[in-house]
Amino acid sequence: MAQNSLSNTSDKLPSHEVLKDVPDNLKELIADNGKNLKSIRCSTCKSLILNKDTASLVKRETFLPYPQQKKNQKAEEAEGETVNSFWHVQDMYTFENVGFCKTIGTVKFLMCADCEIGPVGVCDTRGPRDFFVSTDRIAHEN
């Protein structure tokens, strides 16, 4: 559902936890150690974002703007959706290829380093050791 929540950011850093009720479509993508069984790639150009066995599945309620916006739409008023499941890494350099956009509020969104489609994920400058890639916005393939 389209909504707008970039302009009314909360004061609190959103929390994340291990995703327990794993949806069926993700079950086959997790190894026994909770890490990703397959590589994480850009769903558009297949650029490699994360290698397999590098990220953990977590739950985090997060607003992500849609990649396509109306022309002349201000970034703060971007339309988007709230998503919940993410691949989580704790070191920026775990990424093979990724781009970071400029900060909005306290947030930096992640994009594909090659075709620049995004946001594919997010990090919060108040929690600079946590990087999240949306399971809905990438492709799982080796």
Partner 1 sequence: MSRSYDYLFKLLLIGDSGVGKTCVLFRFSEDAFNATFISTIGIDFKIRTIEIDAKKIKLQIWDTAGQERFRTITTAYYRGAMGIMLVYDITNERSFQNINNWIKNIAEHASADVEKMILGNKCDMEDKRKVSKERGENLAVENGIKFMETSAKQSHNVEEAFFTLARDIKAKMDKKLQQEKTPDVVQPGKDHKHKKSKWFCNIL
| Residue 121 binds partner 1 (CB under 8 A) | no
Shorter beta-carbon distance to partner 1: residue 28 or 77: 77
Interacting residue with partner 1 among 4, 7, 15, 73 (CB under 8 A): 73
Stretch that binds partner 1, among 10-18, 35-43, 66-74, 122-130 (CB under 8 A): 66-74
CA dist list (Å): 141 to 28, 38, 48, 125: 12, 5, 9, 30
123 touching partner 1, by CB under 8 A: no
Judged by CB, which is closer to partner 1: 25, or 103? Answer: 103
Q: 8: which 2 tokens?
A: 């009314």
The per-residue b/e assignment along 80-108, b for 16 or more CB within 10 angstroms, e otherwise, is beebebbbbbeeeeebeebbbeeeeeebb
Q: Which residue bears the tokens 């691949």?
A: 87
Task: Kindly state whether residue 51 participates in binding partner 1, applying the rule CB under 8 A.
Answer: yes
Question: Site for partner 1 (CB under 8 A): which residue of 19, 40, 42, 113?
Answer: 113
- Could you tell me which residues come within 8 angstroms of residue 85 by beta carbon, excluding any fewer than 6 positions away? 19, 23, 26, 57, 58, 59, 134, 135, 136
- The contact pattern for partner 1, residues 7-26, with x = CB under 8 A and - = no contact, is --------------------
Binding-site ranges for partner 1 (CB under 8 A) = 51, 54, 65-75, 78, 91-104, 108-109, 111, 113, 115-119
